[in-house]
Amino acid sequence: MCKSQFGLIGLAVMGANLARNMADKGVKTLVYNRTAAKTKKFLEDFGHSPNLDGAFTLKDFVNQLERPRKIILLIKAGQPVDDMLDELIPLLDAGDIIIDGGNSFFKDTQRRSKRMKELGFEYVGMGVSGGEEGALHGPSLMPGCGRQAYDHIRPVLEAISAKAEGEPCVDYIGTDGAGHYVKMVHNGIEYADMQLISEVYTIMRHVLKMDVEEIAEVFGKWNQGRLSSYLIEITAAILQKKDGKTGKPIVDIILDKAGQKGTGKWTSLSALELGVPTPTMTEAVFARDMSSMKEERVELDKKYNDIRFASDTLDKDSLLADLEKTLYASKICAYAQGFNLIGTAGEVYGWHLNLGHLAKIWRNGCIIRAAFLNVVSDSFDSNPSMKNLLFSDFFASALKEARPGWGRIVSLAAEAGVGIPALSSALAYFDAYHTPVGNANIIQAQRDYFGAHTYERVDKEGHFHTDWTG
Ligand code: 6PG
């Protein structure tokens, strides 16, 4: 019997779609799911493809794969991955390659890579972005592993990935947890991007008093320009959608409590651990936390709702122009924070990451795909040691041009009593980052005052202490 080239475990929607994508690209794929009924259903629906086959025991599955075996797991992150590895390990042969395509925590991936390597297997922690549609038609892929393992799986990954300007949206990222780390920060940026868009919507809806259809038009228009991105595009589409039952815009029916699975929080935890400021990404996580406190928000509104400010003398057209600049500038800051974090993690974990290439593989297939990633990629390519995107001349001119309107929008929202934590944190990040003389002299003095922690001086080397009360 002709053996399959690739094995795939986990037939929830991501796994099923990825298996179909592989088969469409001519890769003979064998699927397995713990619940046999799922495999049966999948084969009933899609088994007519000559490239799709299924196995009903793990032993049969492993035996029907070409060697070295290449097995991709699309199962729930966490303990299920360890459980599956425990079951697979006795059935594998040296040199077999296991790829974890879930949103696993990068430190788990580092631990699993070490374990698998010691047992003679190759382990790939691969970030997969693009949701269900991406899995089916072409995701962005972020594999972290040894070079040799990558060379084995590269042709298939390139075939199934999305393409941007003809180039596959996959590249070698780095060893062990690098791929999952990069995917984690991708999600941190995704959280920020989504929150920024939501705040801009809030300003249009509740400060400029625009109706939902009009806001949809603005997002649609922005999507034709430099803000062109998947998230802006789907926001315009979402705002046009009416609820079948009530005829109201569906966004008015959806409860304002955001879910989260943890990758945004992990990004912020890593940023705190590595000492990299990522306020916009982190505010986006806090905003989801705040959103879930619905009952308290409703209760507090009763206490404070008389302090809202509304004006009908606002110049809508000029404020919309300011808003576009504010969103663009804030987006630059959010991505700058994300790339800064990835760059630092690359140094700390010894991953030798190429930030220009990373930006390239996010140009299509993934959730944060955006026209401006071309410029991000070019900026890092022309200056690979650039510490932060804010040093790029291209983005510097966009930020300078945006700054006056950005300030106006943040003040306007503050006056109106509308919380916009992501937009305002991006502005604060920008202002703090280009401030040559900040306020940490006061912090240092306070630390020295109450704890004799000492401080450095601007005029000579060394550490000094003042007798503050003497
Ligand atoms: C992607 C998405 C994907 C998923 C997130 C949602 O890149 O395809 O990021 O990974 O949709 O896990 O995350 P939250 O549930 O935390 O919003």
CA 121 to chain centre: 29
Which CATH code is given to the segment(s) 6-176?
3.40.50.720
Average pLDDT, rounded, for the chain? 97
pLDDT score of 309 more than 90: no
Nearest CA to ligand 1 atom 4: 131
Q: What lines the ligand 1 site, CB under 6 Å?
A: 103, 129-131, 187, 190, 259-261, 263-264, 366-367
Which of 187, 268, 292 to mutate for ligand 1's pocket (most ligand atoms within 8 Å of CB)?
187
Q: What is the pairing mode between strands 122-129 and 97-100?
A: parallel
Nearest CA to ligand 1 atom 17: 260
- Amino acid identity for residue 401 in this structure: E
Q: Which atom of ligand 1 is nearest to the CA of 183?
A: 7
Predicted local distance difference test score (pLDDT) of residue 308: 62
Q: How confident is the model at residue 302 (pLDDT cuts 50, 70, 90)?
A: very high
CA of 187 to the centre of ligand 1 (A): 6
Average pLDDT over residues 368-391: 95
CA of 190 to the centre of ligand 1 (A): 8
- Amino acid identity for residue 145 in this structure: C
Q: Identify the CATH assignment for 438-470 out of 1.20.5.320, 1.10.8.60, 1.10.510.10, 1.20.120.430.
A: 1.20.5.320
Cβ neighbours for 319, distance < 8 A, ≥ 6 positions apart:
208, 408, 409, 412
User: What CATH fold (topology level) applies to the domain 183-433?
Assistant: N-(1-d-carboxylethyl)-l-norvaline Dehydrogenase; domain 2 (1.10.1040)
Q: How confident is the model at residue 153 (pLDDT cuts 50, 70, 90)?
A: very high
Predicted local distance difference test score (pLDDT) of residue 450: 98
Could you read off the pLDDT of 14-51 as tens digits, one per residue?
Answer: 999 999 999 999 999 999 999 999 999 999 999 999 99
Could you read off the pLDDT of 325-340 as tens digits, one per residue?
Answer: 999 999 999 999 999 9
Could you list the active site residues?
183, 190
Q: Which atom of ligand 1 is nearest to the CA of 263?
A: 16
Could you read off the pLDDT of 402-424 as tens digits, one per residue?
Answer: 999 999 999 999 988 899 999 99
pLDDT score of 312 more than 70: no
pLDDT score of 1 more than 80: no
Could you read off the pLDDT of 213-267 as tens digits, one per residue?
Answer: 999 999 999 999 999 999 999 999 999 999 999 999 999 999 999 999 999 999 9
Q: Which atom of ligand 1 is nearest to the CA of 190?
A: 9
Q: Which atom of ligand 1 is nearest to the CA of 187?
A: 9
For the chain, the structural domain boundaries read: 6-176, 183-433, 438-470
CA of 267 to the centre of ligand 1 (A): 13
Asked whether 430 and 333 are in contact (CB, 8 A), the reply is yes
Predicted local distance difference test score (pLDDT) of residue 313: 81
Q: What is the pairing mode between strands 122-129 and 140-144?
A: antiparallel
Could you read off the pLDDT of 385-399 as tens digits, one per residue?
Answer: 999 999 999 999 999
CA of 382 to the centre of ligand 1 (A): 31
Which of 103, 183, 230 to mutate for ligand 1's pocket (most ligand atoms within 8 Å of CB)?
103
Average pLDDT over residues 430-451: 98
Predicted local distance difference test score (pLDDT) of residue 380: 96
pLDDT score of 369 more than 90: yes
Average pLDDT over residues 144-170: 97
Which of 230, 367, 368, 369 to mutate for ligand 1's pocket (most ligand atoms within 8 Å of CB)?
367
Could you read off the pLDDT of 59-105 as tens digits, one per residue?
Answer: 999 999 999 999 999 999 999 999 999 999 999 999 999 999 999 99
pLDDT score of 322 more than 70: yes
